[in-house]
Structure 1
Amino acid sequence: MSNGKTKWSAQWIAVELLIMALIGLIFGFLGPFGTYAMPVALRLAYWVGFIIVGYAIFRPVSISAGWLRESIGISVWAAELMATAVATLPLTFLIGFAISGMRFDPDFLGDRFVLLYLQCGAIGFGIFLFMRLLFGPDEAVEQADHDLIQSDNRKIVPASEPIKLVRTQLHDRLPQSFPGMIIALGVEDHYVRVHAAERTEMLLLRLSDAIKEMEPQEGMQVHRSWWVARDAIVTSKREGRNLRLSLSGGLEVPVSRAYVTKLKQTGWI
């Protein structure tokens, strides 16, 4: 029900609560979904009360959905639809309990429950759209997109140590003529392609096992199909909304949105 513009700022929550109360008053005067037959005072209290209760449920769920979006890289719309579907359930139970005379009515858990669930969900998502229209996109989303733009063709901060050829357990699986510096691992079907700056080799191995055998080489998985060595990163660049890492030797590796935050936190980009 909120666009989460400033997370848990007390001042911003107060503003949102005021807006929720005003929305509740509007619904109270209009009396939708069969509530117009209620006395005016009761109708206003009903709508203001449940809009604010709905806000108290939707707000933390919406923020959690934002964290999920940042973690797995889904769109803000998909995250908010998920939040609406989850938060609507307890709200529907509460409203059903109230309109059943503050008691549990088993007969309510049927078509009436489904209809009320859809009505609550539509109102919740509608308020989210209204708040987004009123205040613009979530600051967190804007900041993430800004960070991606700022990373366009930016030089990576070099490692404090000079590049060293690190001998790893994975080298034991490779031909002796393979160059010492492994710069990346990429998945191809059931194989892992081991990349050096000037050569590649295929190994019948899972990526997770190959990554374990790369210790003590400093590196990170940046995509479900890619691992890169820290010392091999030259630049990062953006193609549309996608981030890519350019490695020594000219290899370019895609970065999943789920890994962008981790790369920034570690100072790699």
Structure 2
Amino acid sequence: MNWARRGLLELWAMVMLAAVVGFLGPFGTYLEADFPSRVWNWFAHLMGAYVLVRPTIWFLAVLSDATAIPRGALICWGVLLASFPLALVWEWGASLFFQALGGFAGILPFAILSAVAILAVVVAAKRIDGELDHRKQAPVQPTVSEDRDVSPTPEIGSPPPVPATEEGEEARPRLLARLGPAFEGPILALQSEDHYVRVHGVRGSELLLMRLRDAIPEMADCPGYQVHRGWWVAESAVAGTETNGRNRTIVLINGEKVPVARDSVAALERAGFLPTAR
């Protein structure tokens, strides 16, 4: 993911949003100034919303990864809650611009709409950034014969099937064909990020536009386990484990830490993937 490009995409989307709202001139602002002035005023206020809502989205995404709370629901509710302090700031510092809205009660619905618009800008910019990365990589799609058996998606705690290979031939997961030449293998782990999969290597990682449940079967040549709803880990990538109460964490050979779902611990211990806690 290119964060500089991501920021430019979001900034460009904010300019376009301010231009559209400035052209429409809602809430009595159409007659207050000419078009360039309206666009500038709306851009300033929308960027004020962006400064509050954008860090909120980032924080909630990190919180979702740390607690396994569904990201979509957490971010949506968090963005709605962030609109309340946004409305208070606008009432205190921009009462003249929103004088037609009638105070906090009138500003709040507009603050909610603005917060939702910021969320839409962030989601759209992320998808466009992912599409640009996907096109830049231009991976070669592996050919699959029509009569080939397709293995079902493994459940949490169960390893994917490992097909037999010719003697002396090194197993090579099909997912490697999707990765760019800069990726430093082997593949250590797969992490779900919305509609993407982050492929972790020895040094660094790479995003692929696909679902985790579709990526796991392409790692069939590499023994591993799905240890969490959003994580798959290769057996050879485990450097150690950490225990904190009922929580278990896998430490990869590159230093990355992977959470283990509590309801999967027993199955992983029986399979020998995790040491039995004492």
> TM-score of the superposition, structure 1-length normalised?
0.48
> TM-score of the superposition, structure 2-length normalised?
0.47
Bigger RCO (CA 8 Å, 6+ sep)? 1
Larger Rg: 1
